[in-house]
Amino acid sequence: MTKIVKMEGYEIHHPKATLKNKVGSSGGISLKEMEKRMAKKMAGLTEEFLASIPAVIERIETALSNLEAGNGGEPEQTIIFRQGHDLKGMGGSFGYPIMGTIGEGICELTTSDFKSSALTLPLIRIHLDLLTYVAAKRIKDDKDPNAEPIIIALANAKPK
Amino acid sequence: MSIHYNFRNLNIIFVDDNKNMHLLIKSILLAMNIVSSRGCYDAKRCFAEMLEDPPDVVITDLSLNPENGLDLIKRIRAGEKGVDRYTPILVLSGQTKLANVMEARDAGATEFLSKPVSVGSLHDRLVWMIENPRAFIKASEYIGPDRRRAMRGYEGMERRQ
C-alpha cells in the first residue's frame, strides 16, 4: 500500500513497490559479461540495420523530390524529419555514428519550426547524398579513412 | 565491489515505433538477463499490455505515432484505465535538447536516457533507478516523481558505447 503524506497543497506518495524489491543482489551477472553477450549479437543486428537503410533513403528521396518539384508540403517535411530522427537515434546505437550525425543534420533542416517554403532543399539533398555514400561504403565514423570529405561536407551543409 | 543485480525477475515494456530499435532493445535486455520484456509500437498497445500484465518499468521513446511519448507518460501518471501510475518510466530518446528533457520531466518521466543506447548506458540508468527511488508528488497540475531531486538524466550528448 502506498504511504501518502498530506502537505499544504500537495501530497507526497511513497509507493510500496520498488524496483529494489524486484531485483536480487545475488545471482546477477557483471556488466562486462552483459557487454560480451551483446557483442555477439551486434553483428547480426547491425546487418539488419544496414539492410533497412535503402528504404530510408528511398523515403527521403521520394519526399524530397516532391518538395523540389514544388508538389510537397508539410507531410513531406514530416516524412523527412522522421527519417532523420530515426537515423539520429539508430546510427550511434548500431555503430554508425556518422549516420547519426547525418540524421541530426536532416532533423535540424526539417524541424517543424521551419516553414516548408523556407526549407533549404539543396542542403537536405547534400545530406541524402552523403547518407547514400556512407551506406554504400559502410563508413562508420570519423576514424574511417574515407570519412574526411564527409565530415567537411556535413560541416558546410548548414543553413547560413 | 559493486553489486551485480539480478534483473531476471524484472518485467519491462518498451515503446518505440522503429523495428530496428525493437530488435536492439530486446537484445540489450536479454543480454542483461531480462527475459520478460515486451515491445510495443504505439501508446495504445502499451496501455493494453500494461493492463494485461503490469510491468515493473516502461521504457519509451518521445517521438511516437500517432500519440507522442509525452502524452503516454501523462496518461500513465494519471492512472488512466487503472494502470499503475507509479510505474517507473525511462525515456529513451534521440530528442536530447534541454527543452525535451524538461518536457519529459514535467510530464512525469522518472529518468531520461539519450540515444544512442548501449548495454552499458541502459544498465547504468537502470541501476540508478533501482538504487535511487523517488517519492511521488501529487499536486493540482502535476503527478510524478519528485522533481526537486533532479533526474540523473541530462548528459546531453552522452555517448557511452
Q: Which residue bears the cell 512525469?
A: B108
pTM: 0.90
> Looking at chain B from residue 59 to 118, which residues have their Cβ under 8 Å from any Cβ of chain A?
61, 63, 86, 88, 93-95, 115-118
A89 neighbourhood in chain B, CB within 8 Å: 18, 21, 61, 93-94, 115-116
Structure confidence at residue B67 (pLDDT): 85
Spatial separation of the C-alpha atoms in residues B31 and A40, rounded to whole Å: 10
Question: Cis (ω within 30 of 0) for the bond into A97?
Answer: no
Whether residue B111 lies inside any domain: the answer is: yes
Q: For chain B, what is the domain count? A: 1
Whether residue B2 lies inside any domain: the answer is: no
Spatial separation of the C-alpha atoms in residues B54 and B41, rounded to whole Å: 17
B56: CATH: 3.40.50.2300
Structural domain including B38 reads 11-145
| B145 to chain A, closest Cα gap in Å | 9
**pLDDT tens, residue by residue, B59-100:** 999 988 778 999 999 999 999 999 999 999 999 998 888 999
Using only C-alpha atoms, chain B has a radius of gyration, in whole angstroms, of 14
Contact A89 B18 (CB under 8 A): yes
Spatial separation of the C-alpha atoms in residues A8 and B105, rounded to whole Å: 23
B149, with CB counted inside 10 A (0-12, 13-18, 19+), is: exposed
Contact B20 A82 (CB under 8 A): no
Spatial separation of the C-alpha atoms in residues B39 and B30, rounded to whole Å: 13
Does B154 have pLDDT greater than 50? no
B9 neighbourhood in chain A, CB within 8 Å: 22-24
Contact A2 B139 (CB under 8 A): no
Interface contacts A/B by beta carbons within 8 Å: 138
**pLDDT tens, residue by residue, A104-152:** 999 989 986 666 556 689 999 999 999 999 999 999 999 999 999 999 9
Whether residue B152 lies inside any domain: the answer is: no
ipTM score assigned to the predicted complex: 0.88
Whether residue B116 lies inside any domain: the answer is: yes
